[in-house]
Amino acid sequence: MKDSNCIFCKIANGEIPSRTIEENDMFRVVLDVGPATKGHALILPKDHYRNLFDLPEETAAEAIKMAKKVALKMKDKLGCDGVNIVQNNEEAAGQTVFHFHMHVIPRYKEDGQVIGWRPGQPTGEELDAIAEELK
Q: List, as own/partner pairs, every contact residues 53-56 make where C-beta atoms lie below 8 angstroms and the sequence separation is at least 24, other chains included.
A: 53/89, 54/100, 55/100
Q: Are 58 and 41 within 8 A, CB to CB?
A: no
Q: Give the integer Cα–Cα distance in Å for 25 and 39.
A: 22
Q: Are 8 and 98 within 8 A, CB to CB?
A: no
Tell me how crowded residue 29 is: count the other CB atoms within 10 A of its CB. Answer: 24
Among all residues, which ones are annotated catalytic? 101
Q: How far is C-alpha 10 from the chain's CA centre?
A: 18
